């Protein structure tokens, strides 16, 4: 198997896992995949992605748009960021 075909294979499994609602362990068990290899490819494919972008906001009523994984966009006031971001971050980590 070529490097590209391996990447395609794992990319398809990772996408299917995300849509399945299963834990990584349950998905791997169902598909006879080694969990450590699945995790390796998941992290490898996420490496080049932008994680957090530092911003500086001077007016608390400034509208801010967050672009989240899965095509989700949220628009809220800058003053709501302090309460909202920790919740969003926790939910994203729980899904990973």
Q: What is the per-residue pLDDT across 8-66, written as a single tens digit (0 to 9) for each?
A: 999 999 999 989 989 999 999 999 999 999 999 988 887 766 666 777 777 878 888 88
Domain boundaries, the chain: 1-49, 52-96
Q: Can you give the pTM of this predicted structure?
A: 0.50
Instruction: Considering only residues 74 and 16, tell me which one the structure prediction assigns the higher pLDDT.
Output: 16
Phi-psi label, residue 14: left if phi above 0, alpha if psi -120 to 50, beta otherwise:
alpha
Please say whether the beta carbons of 9 and 1 come within 8 A.
yes
Give pLDDT, residue 94.
78
């Amino acid at each position: 198997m070529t490097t590209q075909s391996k990447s395609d294979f794992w990319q398809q499994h990772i996408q299917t896992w995300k849509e399945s609602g299963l834990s990584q362990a349950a998905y791997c068990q169902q598909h006879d995949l080694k969990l450590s290899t699945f995790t390796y490819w998941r992290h490898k494919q996420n490496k080049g992605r932008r994680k957090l972008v530092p911003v500086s906001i001077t007016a608390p009523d400034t509208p801010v748009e967050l672009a989240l994984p899965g095509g989700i966009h949220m628009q809220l006031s800058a003053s709501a960021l302090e309460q909202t971001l920790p919740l969003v971050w926790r939910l994203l980590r729980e899904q990973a």
